[in-house]
Amino acid sequence: MIEVLSNSALATIQDGGRHGYYRDGVSRSGAMDGVAVAVGNALLGNDRDAAGIEIPMLPFSVRFDTGLDIALTGADCAAHLDDVALQPDWAIRVHASQVLKLSAPKSGCRAYLCVGGGVDVPTVLGSRSTQLREGFGGHEGRMLQKGDRLAARRTESVLPEGGMGAMPVAALMPELGQGANVTVRVLPAAEYELFRPEAHDALWSGDWAVTPQSNRAGYRLAGPELQLITPIELRSHGVVPGVIQVPPGGQPIIQLADAATMGGYPKIGTVIEADLWRLAQARPGEKLNFQQVSYEDALAARHELDRCLASIEAMAMRVRAAAKGWSR
């Protein structure tokens, strides 16, 4: 079992997301940085979508009361297992009574704690993710609290002595953009043509600051004002994670994992699915740049990310098998 020691709010159990219930008004939920969870699961030999703990507010600490395989991925937050520093993107066997402590992140803003087999909570509507607004899924449908106890679905170890890690995914993928800003790829959306030409220029060339009013539901951005040619009123329509809405006032909102499934603001663009994990690690104050791509580019990017994750999974499996052979 894992016992939550800190009172740090906002930590939730998340997996690959609750897909297929948009028609019922159930948003996707799931890990904001799905790549970090997939990497943790790859190191542990779990299913890609096994449930982990998303930790957006640090410090955070847990105590283990059984031996357990764990992986810590996502934001690099100077983690320590008892007094020993834990490497970033690392999987290791922990022992009973060991304490894992995460401190303020050096980079990124969401850490993920994955465990052997995934966190053992009931599956609701096909997912173990916490559906915060509706209060179901995850652990009792809520954020984790001090004293909560969680079980892993596998306790035997598959890891080599000393553990193993993954190369940073950003280093395995072609570089996006330049400089300190976070670049994500964006498709023009349905109402794109209803915005003024200056708004188009601003979208593609502007620096878009992530404001503190940003969370799992969406990121509010600050930047140049995006103006419509003429004001329009839209009926509410389906909205998916990644959609960039522009409310009156012209400051865009990117809808994310816990966003409502419907909305009526005009949509100027959509961050492609393959880049949503990059947004998840952008901190308030960091600036985004949007790079225009086509639908075909978006599909190719998704396939590329899938291939990258599949290669981490395959190599992790080979290294685990080889280490097992050498230790005999």
Partner 1 sequence: MISIDDLDRVLGWMLKDQLQALEVSEGNARIRLKMADRPGMPAPRVEAKVLARGLGRFLVAHPRSGEPALKVGDQVVAGGIVGFIQNDAVLLPIVSAHAGQVSEVHVAAGSLLGFGAPVLTLMVEP
Phi-psi region of 141 (alpha: psi -120 to 50; beta: other; left: phi over 0): left
Q: How far is the CB of 43 from partner 1 (least distance, A)?
A: 8
The set of residues, in sequence order, having a beta carbon less than 8 Å from that of 263 and lying 6+ positions away, is 236, 237, 239, 243, 245, 255
The structure tokens listed for 212 are 């503190």
Q: Closer to partner 1 at the Cβ: 98 or 251? A: 98
State in angstroms the smallest separation of the CB of 105 from partner 1.
Answer: 11
When the beta carbons of 17 and 163 are compared against partner 1, the nearer one is 163
Q: By C-beta, is 277 or 290 nearer to partner 1?
A: 277
- Measure the CA angle with vertex 28, ends 23 and 33; round to 5°: 160
Cα dihedral: 262, 265, 270, 276 (round 10): -60
Residues lying near partner 1 in the complex (CB under 8 A):
43, 76, 84, 87-89, 107, 160-168, 171-172, 308, 311-312, 315-316, 318-319, 322-323, 326
What is the nearest approach in angstroms of partner 1 to the Cβ of residue 106?
8
Q: How far is the CB of 311 from partner 1 (least distance, A)?
A: 6
Phi, psi of 91 (to 5 degrees): -115, 135
One-letter identity of residue 171:
A
* Least distance from partner 1 to the Cβ atom of residue 162, Å: 4
- Choice between 94 and 239, CB closer to partner 1: 94
First to last CA, the chain: 29
- Look-up of token digits 């799905």: 34
Please count the other Cβ atoms lying within 10 Å of the Cβ belonging to residue 210: 21
Minimum distance from residue 138 beta carbon to partner 1 (Å):
29
Rg of the chain (C-alpha set): 20
Q: Which is nearer to partner 1, 99 or 173 (CB)?
A: 173
For the bound state, the minimum distance from the C-beta of residue 119 to partner 1, rounded and expressed in Å, comes to 23
Tokens linked to 292: 């225009």
Cβ closest to partner 1, residue 54 vs residue 76 = 76
Give the nearer residue to partner 1 in terms of CB position, either 232 or 314: 314
Selection from 255, 6, 31 nearest residue 130 by Cα: 31
